[in-house]
Structure 1
Amino acid sequence: MRAGHVVGGRYRLEERLGSGSQGEVWRAADERLHDRPVALKRALSGGDRAAAAKVRKESEALASLNHPHVVTVHDLVEDKGDHWIVMEFVAGSSLADLGTVGADAAARYGAQLAGGLEAVHAEGILHRDIKPANVLVTEQGQAKLADFGIARQVHAEPTLTGTGAVTGTPGYVAPEVVRGGRYTAAADVFSLGATLFHAVEGTTPFGEGNAHALLWRTAQGDRVAPKQAGSLEPVLDRLLEADPKRRIGIGEAQAALARLSGEPVSGRARKPMRRRWIGAAAAASALVVLAAVLWPALRPAESGGEPGGDPGGGVAADYLGDERTADPCALLDLDRLGEFGETRLDSDYGGWPHCNVFIDTEVGYTNVELYFYSSEQEPDPGETTMEGPIGVIRYEGDHAGCKRNLVLPDGRDIVSIEATQDESGDADLCAIADTAVEGALAVLAEGEVPRRAQSPDPASTYYLDACDLLDNEALERFPGVNAHAPYRAFGDWRCDWYSTTSADEVHVSFDFNEPPTAEEYDLIDLAGRTAVVRGDDWGEHSCLVTVVHRQYPSVDGDGSTVAENVRVQVFGDETAAQDDLCDLATDLARSVAEALPDA
């Protein structure tokens, strides 16, 4: 491609501004609008129809956004098999080219960018690569977000780590993404913080070095202490919080940065809306509504009160409260479910965030399982509606099962409901699941989830932190482990570690089940406790070892005995031999057994 070529019969290429793995960028003139200057970026080549459709869809979404601190997308044109994104031409420099700036200037740029990013997120768009080179600063001192993932996803090679492909640039990408998690709005917030850190300090929050070194330090949480941030440091700390659950939200970040810099605080959307998160893995069908990562709560102007107030005046800001004391069984309405058969509650299966109702019929039984979990990942796509401030995602069911997810207003906490039956059953599982949803919503309409009626035995795993059961010495057996930054699941009842040198993972979690017997399993002894090794439980490239912590009569009063277990799971890639994985899982399970308190 050379200067003078007219793209799409309209845009005359004038000067190449840059080129590389992400494609060519040109300054061009729009011949239909009096040679208005525009920037053109070649989004893809090669005639890949699926990629072209994805680029078109995401360009249209960005074209609908008009914000002073986001580079505007004007058009998408096809020219001889290539697709070009037509964007606003910004006369100025990238933040990377400006060098270091003072804390006041960085706060001003940050407030502008946060306002733009909040608007982007409100449209369901994730940037996925915020860094100084992707921030343009005009000659008038206005910062603009540029270079969204619409071009990047079809050109740039992802950074490969032991946990797979990382979306983003080492040094600026969020720790949860480095550790193998999916990219969310909170990850964009971290990258914004890393960009502002670079603006004042001249380095990434994890220093300088090659990609592997930066990703390693990111996974370890090994941040560089700021020296020039001054009054900006407290906000940077909140933007760069390693735990995405505790990380500052983009709206709050914009307000905090604006206060530091004197920038005006931009207004926010005032009514709940469905959002579709657009990224490299977005669903192609426009008929499927994607659930939001962040489900907006009702605002005071609509609800008649402040969020977090009483049920008659507002929306509960935190429906779950203390994760450990929230009772999942309290959301299952046995009377409603009784229309499908005789119901019986089973609180002794699955684990502490779980509760089950069995519905006995003439031909068998149906199981309705409800459980809590928290996630920073995008919810799986499904038919989505809003029931007040709560998002309800309905998935297509079949004879074997039907699932529903209730996304609570913080966007992270999920109530999952699934109805299942065996092959002999003939129940309408989706009707049962929807009835369970109605019962749960009726309870949530009153406010916070009720607390557990009984406190577990002091010896129970209920009081344990799964991450405390493997110390650094034990984790040394796990090659390349990132021992200092595990993923903590709901209630700290599950803990996941990831290798930084391979695709291996280790999960430790608590569950309930019937006690294992010698007739069913080959029982082994680990540190004086009964254990079972099940190499094929989760596939050929995994191994599960279950350690029995204690046994006791069921609190449901049905005469059964419950085994309270700790599960150690090891996952590897397709090259991993299962025997090797089971050796590692057994070795780690022995350390877990030794760390357990007396039963």
Structure 2
Amino acid sequence: MAEAGDRVAGRYLLQEPIGSGGMGIVWRAHDELLDRQVAVKCARPDDERAVLRLTNEARNAARLHHPHIVSVFDFVDEGEVCWIVMEYVSGGSLADLVRGRGGLSPREAGAIGCQIAAALATSHAKGVVHGDVTPENVLVTEDGVAKLTDFGISRALWSQATMTRTGGVRGKPPYLPPEVARGDQADRKSDVFALGATLYAAVEGRSPYGEAAHPMAYVARAAEGCIEPPHRAGPLVEALTALLTVEPSRRPAADQALRLLRRVTPPSPDAEGSGDGATVARTPFTLRLRSRPSARGARHRPGRRRLITTAALGAAAALAAGIAVFGPWGGGDLRDSGRSGKDGGHTTADPAPPRTGPAGTVGDARTADPCTLLNAVSLSRFGEAVLDPDYGEIDRCDVLLHGESGDDIADVQLNFDADPPEPGSGTSTRRVGNVTVDAFRREGDKCVRNIASADRKQVWIITERLDTPAPDPCQLGDAATDYAVSVMDRGQVPRRSSRPATGSLAREHACRLFGDAELGRIAGVEVRDRDQGFGDWRCEWADGSGEAGVQLEFTRSNEFTTDDARPAVIAGKRSSVAPNEWGDHSCLVQMLHRSYRNSLGDDTVELMSVNVHGPKSTEKLCHTAEALTATAAKRLPKA
């Protein structure tokens, strides 16, 4: 018998039971290798065939990645006992919620139904049938996020004794689809019926077959299709009637069920953007849906490492005219050697340099590829995940998570940093292989993780919630960090697979654009300190007192804008001048260097930014910033 303090597979420390039933005991446990909370189900299959069945079902469940499906991380076979390691979800089941409240409102049940229907639509598209959708298998967090758990696992764990009580029928009798009660195998349409029965119970507080004293009574009513009409469902009646159709061929598929439930989960009077008719105000147990288009270029994305202490560069709004080229690195797509270049010819991608350095190292700054440490697929369980390789600093890569309406709901940002790590700067530090991981305290909708490499460089992972409903930023950050650590544990950070395109700022060196004497003559800065950023794509010069300095940086954005800034033309190029953009007594000048289309097909621009700060008037600082920008522009290649 397992007890608190036992370890499973040498890494999962059992802490406390959080659920039990005929199918096994579920423990809250600590994954000591990846330093995270997990849920571990203890199962005791009857024989070897049951073990094989359970293994197959766990493997099927592990294939599914969706924000409303509980992820399966691991499967451990210890002979008489099997352990299924899953994502830990704080909060109770829908069954617990209904018992505590006596029933949900139609709107609350409809919102939960939308989330579970979306999960089923994804699983069915991948050929996986749940087979046991019940209130006990729907988990609901305090934030109203619903997740479906136990894909196929409950069916695989049904014992002969349990089957005898229900006449050999596999499934929970109060939610049993009629065709399954008659002996047919559960299929996609069976899952849809079980979802309807689950939502019916959430609203009415009982099974759609009424109340019965014995499980076989439910089975008999299910086989006959004796469904009682709902009395409290209100606007949910039509959708429930469709989902609970006795004949499977007339029952909607999961994606159709999702549309039905969306239509009857209307926006509240105080919903944002009430004019669009598609927003549901968020209550503790409702889903918030949006239909407005994503506005990637209209918001400020988080900046690099310095976003922790400094405002990020402004995002863009109007793309400059010019011929687009594909990508900053060779042909835009890092693996594509046949994209058209600006001159109408083709760029040639060089083969990726091999990973020759030891595990846990970043290696050469200008060839280390930040996008190899992020993986959209590994984050897809949190939502639709898209890799964005061309935003912000050149040493940066992002994964954007989209909600069901297509809006950005979360951002995962990864940056390299040339500064040596400061040990123990986070609240929780752990050693994994040759790297050290620091976890910082959550700050509102933002979470920060740091990986200190074996060659004394840093990887910053910054996750931010942009909309609701959205995953917890720290859980998202931990998942992204786990993937990055797993890549670094296998060797040096992989190299970029091509050289920068001709004319790209990624080819340039920021610290070479100004000489110390030149900074003294133009900016009045007697350089005492020079800080070269990662890859020499950023450089800072300071006078030693901290009162005056210059920073030059190469960045990328979706568009170029002069909003909230004064338009200017410097060295023949479109620019903007923004006094006090980075604090009082400063002036930021941004110059559009070139425009291109990235590997996703998005319009993208490269910018050179020059910021000057010091004890002078803002007018003089801006004059100095413009003069320095003009000087640097003359030394850049033609785009």
TM over 0.5: no
* TM-score of the superposed pair, with normalisation by structure 1: 0.44
* TM-score of the superposed pair, with normalisation by structure 2: 0.42
Bigger radius of gyration among the two: 2
